[in-house]
């Protein structure tokens, strides 16, 4: 009889531990996005010198080319720490002008979110899952979408190596 109560008490204790412990207590904090790529890696990928990275909010890092006459078309890279939910939206877009294109060989899973605006201009950004970390790489300043996707993939592979 005594062992039966001990067993029930142990089960109740473990069950209450599972209910009362927040999941996030076991998750690692998200990485610093600026630590996933170096200035040299981004410069090499863009084919031009970039300034030191800027941590915009805590989850976004940007590398920009210095002294660009037209900042709208300037070459730059933005790496954003993302979420599982955002990754799911990228894989199953709901916007009519956006499609998901698988990106094989990157992280545990990866997809390009390719959007086309009313003028026919397109943009792609690479959403990556590596372990429990999700991030997005977005390259700006290149008119050729295929080139953008190649650069995003190369940078994502380098970022994955640090996770």
Tokens (6 digits) for 36: 């996933």
The CATH architecture of the domain made up of 29-160 is 3-Layer(aba) Sandwich (3.40)
Using alpha carbons only, what angle is made at residue 129 by residues 58 and 144, rounded to the nearest 5 degrees? 85
DSSP 5: H
CA 151 to chain centroid, in Å, comes to 14
pLDDT value of residue 7: 30
Q: Is the pLDDT of residue 95 over 90?
A: no
Tokens coding 153? 């993939």
Of the spans 10-14, 103-107, 143-147, which averages the highest pLDDT? 103-107
Query: Cα angle at 160 between 156 and 23, to 5 degrees?
Result: 120
17-61 residue pLDDT tens: 333 334 444 566 789 999 999 999 999 999 999 999 999 888 999
Mean pLDDT of the region 88-107: 91
| pTM for the structure as a whole | 0.80
Tens digit of each residue's pLDDT (9 = 90 or more) over 106-156: 999 999 999 987 777 788 999 999 999 999 999 999 989 999 999 999 999
CA-CA distance, 137 to 151, in Å (whole number)? 9
| Domain residue extents for the chain | 29-160
């Amino acid at each position: 009889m005594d062992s039966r109560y001990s067993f029930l008490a142990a089960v109740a204790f473990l069950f209450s531990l599972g209910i009362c412990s927040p999941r996030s207590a076991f998750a690692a904090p998200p990485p610093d996005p600026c630590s996933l790529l170096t200035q040299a890696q981004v410069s090499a990928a863009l084919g031009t010198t970039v300034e030191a990275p800027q941590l915009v909010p805590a989850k976004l890092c940007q590398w920009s080319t210095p002294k660009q006459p037209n900042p709208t078309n300037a070459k730059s890279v933005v790496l954003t720490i993302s979420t599982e939910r955002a990754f799911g939206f990228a894989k199953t877009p709901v916007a009519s002008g956006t499609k998901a294109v698988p990106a094989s060989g990157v992280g545990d899973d990866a997809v390009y979110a390719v959007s086309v605006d009313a003028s026919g201009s397109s943009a792609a950004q690479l959403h990556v899952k590596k372990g429990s970390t999700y991030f997005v790489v977005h390259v700006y300043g290149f008119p050729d979408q295929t080139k953008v996707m190649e650069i995003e993939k190369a940078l994502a592979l380098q970022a994955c190596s640090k996770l």
